[in-house]
Amino acid sequence: MDNKVLSPALQIVKNIWDNSNHPKMGSMVRFNTCLGDALDLAIKGLIPFEIDDFEWISKNLRRFPWGAGNSDNYGENYYSLACDYGNTSAARAFEKWKNRKPFIWKWEVHHRNVERSNDRLAVGDIFNCRAKKLTVTSFDDKTGKIICCIYKERLKDNRGWEIGVLKVDHIYKLTGKELKALADTTMGAPDLENIHGK
């Protein structure tokens, strides 16, 4: 490990890495859970992150539990958490690690626990665009695109709860420029139908 002076957020994670007894007791699952919880806590607590913190974790804590199926979407749960809780320093550090420019939606964004305008979009966020409800499903950092879906309307039970499986109606792969154009409410601005989806 390098001799970097650790940010307050990294100190929390590194303390678990250095001092947990779970590895000695043979419980890597519990150890990984604790590491993930430590990073969650730093994000939720709005603890300051340095711009290269996620890169440092990736490089120095090699067994870190990123909570994803492949290297393209490693750590998106932490980015979603940072956007939800408004931990901008964590979001920026994550963006630097992924080499991602933030996708900002100028109207209302529905995060997991809060709604804000003029905010970053993350996986799981829902936003209205041209009278349609879009859900962010992933990012393609290689091409600089955000992937959003419109889901088919689901049936509701007698209490008004949606039931059944989500089915995709349309997929949009948008650049930052296209997303910004879609937020424009002036005459002549492009509509979703003018954006090439899949």
Are 54 and 144 in the same domain?
no
Are 118 and 65 in the same domain?
no
Q: Is the pTM of this model over 0.85?
A: yes
Are 95 and 106 in the same domain?
no
Position 187 confidence tier, pLDDT thresholds 50, 70, 90 = low
Are 38 and 54 in the same domain?
yes
Are 87 and 132 in the same domain?
no
Are 107 and 198 in the same domain?
yes
Are 95 and 1 in the same domain?
yes
Round the average pLDDT of the chain to a whole number and report it: 88
Q: What is the pLDDT of residues 164-182, one digit of tens each?
A: 898 999 999 999 999 998 8
Which runs of E-coded beta strand occur in the chain? 104-110, 115-120, 126-129, 132-140, 145-151, 155-156, 162-163, 168-175
Are 7 and 88 in the same domain?
yes
Contact between residue 64 and residue 35 where contact means Cβ atoms under 8 Å apart? yes
- Domain interval for residue 70: 1-99
Are 146 and 72 in the same domain?
no
Alpha carbon distance 16, 39 (integer Å): 10
Q: What is the pLDDT of residues 62-84, one digit of tens each?
A: 777 776 555 667 789 999 999 99
Q: Where is the domain boundary, 81, 99, 117? A: 99
Q: Where is the domain boundary, 99, 131, 152? A: 99
Are 95 and 8 in the same domain?
yes
